[in-house]
Amino acid sequence: MQKTTHKTNSSAEKQNVKAILIANPTSGSYTTHAHQIDRIISTLRQRGWQAELKLTEASGDARRLSREAVEQHLDVVIAIGGDGTIHEVIQELAGSDTALGVLPSGTVNVWAREVGIPLDLNGASEVLLNGQTRRIDLGKLDDRYFLLMVGIGVDGEVTHAVEKKPVKRFGVIGYLLVAAWWGARYPAFRASLRLNNQIIKVHALQVIIGNTQLYGGAMKYTWKAKCDDGLLDICVVRRQSILRRLPVLLDFLLRRRQRRQWVRYEVSDTINLTTTEPVAIQVDGEPVGHTSTSEEQPTRLTVVPQSLKVIVPQILPEDLFSQPPL
Q: Do residues 246 and 261 touch, judged by C-beta distance below 8 A?
A: no
Tell me the residue nearest to ligand ATP as measured from the CB.
82
Given 24, 133, 213, 292, the residue binding ligand ATP (CB under 6 A)? 24
Query: Binding residues for ligand ATP, how many (CB under 6 A)?
Result: 23
Radius of gyration of the chain (CA): 19
Q: Which of residues 266-285 bind ligand ATP (CB under 6 A)?
A: 285
Query: With respect to ligand ATP, which residue has the nearer C-beta, 111 or 223?
Result: 111
Q: According to the binding rule CB under 6 A, does residue 56 interact with ligand ATP?
A: yes
Confirm or reject binding of residue 307 to ligand ATP (CB under 6 A). no
Q: Segment contacting ligand ATP (CB under 6 A): 55-63, 64-72, 198-206, 264-272?
A: 55-63
Nearest to 27 by CA among 90, 75, 84: 84
Which residue, 53 or 195, has its beta carbon nearer to ligand ATP?
53
Rounded to whole angstroms, the Cα distance separating 197 from 163 reads: 37
Strands of the chain, DSSP E: 3-5, 18-23, 50-55, 76-81, 99-104, 132-141, 144-146, 149-153, 189-194, 199-210, 214-215, 219-220, 232-238, 263-268, 270-275, 280-283, 286-290, 299-312, 315-317
Which range, of 56-64, 187-195, 196-204, 269-277, touches ligand ATP by CB under 6 A? Answer: 56-64
155 contributes a contact to ligand ATP by CB under 6 A: no
**CA nearest 139: which of 325, 312, 299?**
299
- Contact between 93 and ligand ATP by CB under 6 A: the answer reads no
Q: Considering only 21-29, 45-53, 263-271, 318-326, which stretch makes contact with ligand ATP by CB under 6 A?
A: 21-29
Binding to ligand ATP (CB under 6 A): which residues in 219-248? none
Q: Smaller CB distance to ligand ATP: residue 127 or 231? A: 127
Is 106:84 a contact under the CB 8 Å cutoff?
A: yes
Count H helices and E strands in the chain, helices first. 9, 19
Among 10, 26, 192, 293, binds ligand ATP (CB under 6 A): 26
76 within 8 A of 101, measured Cβ to Cβ: yes
Nearer Cβ to ligand ATP, position 107 or 307? 107
- Residue 126 · residue 186 · CB < 8 Å: no
81 is an interface residue for ligand ATP by CB under 6 A: yes
Q: Whose Cβ is closer to ligand ATP: residue 25's or residue 247's?
A: 25
Interface pick for ligand ATP out of 27, 222, 282, 299 (rule CB under 6 A): 27
User: 56 vs 291, which CB is nearer to ligand ATP?
Assistant: 56
Is residue 231 within 8 Å of residue 303, measured between CB atoms?
yes
3, 320 contact by CB (below 8 A)? no
Binding mask 109-148 for ligand ATP (x = CB under 6 A): x---------------------------------------
CA atoms within 13 A of residue 303's CA, in its CB half-sphere: 27
Kindly tell me which residue out of 37, 41, 82, 313 binds ligand ATP, with binding defined by CB under 6 A. Answer: 82
**Alpha helices in the chain, H assignment, sequence order:** 10-13, 30-46, 61-71, 83-93, 110-115, 121-130, 154-164, 171-185, 242-253
- The footprint of ligand ATP (CB under 6 A) covers 24-28, 56-59, 61-62, 81-85, 88, 106-109, 285-286
